[in-house]
Every structure is written in structure tokens, then in C-alpha cells.
Amino acid sequence: MPNELPVDPDRLRREFPELSDADVDAYITVTRRILDAGVKDRARVTREVVEGGRKARERGKAGASLSPEDTLSSHYLDAVEKMQRSTSRPR
């Protein structure tokens, strides 16, 4: 099924309560974009979004206004980092 997400957003919200609505929305949008890119281009698209998110953060810290794409990339990066932090903690 096209655009099927690997993890249900409701499950993400339960497992990672620190995710904001904007983080989850960005996860959904960007993950669909990555999946739609096809197997050959997924890694490139992922790298571009992550790098865009890092650059957007720096521009935001410098006081620059962010485009919708910058904001999306930044929230996606936030979501990924929050999920990684949560799963990398010792149990």
C-alpha cells in the first residue's frame, strides 16, 4: 500500500510522549516523502532532510526566519533525535 508508514503515529505518541504534534506531523510528511522516493533514492532524500534540519536550526538560532521546508526539516530532525534518545537510554 503506497504511503504506508512503518510505524503508526499513534504508537509513536504512546512510546515517545516527548514528541510534539509538530514532530509527529513532520515524521509523517517526511517519512512518506522518503518512501515515495523509491529504494534507490531514499538514503539521499533522508540525508538531505537531516542536513536541511541542521542548517535550519542554525539559521533559526541566528534569528533568521525559516521557510516551511526549513521548519519541516527541523521538526523531523527533532522527532528523530527524541526517538533515538529515548531508545538509547539504559534500561
Q: In tens digits, what is the pLDDT along the chain, a chain of 91 residues? A: 455 889 999 999 999 999 999 999 999 999 999 999 999 999 999 999 999 999 999 999 999 999 999 999 999 999 999 999 866 655 4
36 Cβ contact list (under 8 Å, min separation 6):
2, 3
Report if residue 80 sits inside a domain: yes
Domain-located, residue 4: no
36: in domain: yes
27 inside domain = yes
Residue 40: give the domain boundaries.
Answer: 9-85
Q: How much is the pTM?
A: 0.85
46 contacts: CB under 8 Å, gap ≥ 6: 34
Give, for 90, the enclosing helix (H) or strand (E): none
Quick check: is 55 in a domain?
A: yes
Asked if the structure places residue 33 within a domain, the reply is yes
For residue 14, which amino acid is it?
R
Domain count, the chain: 1
* 16 in a structural domain: yes
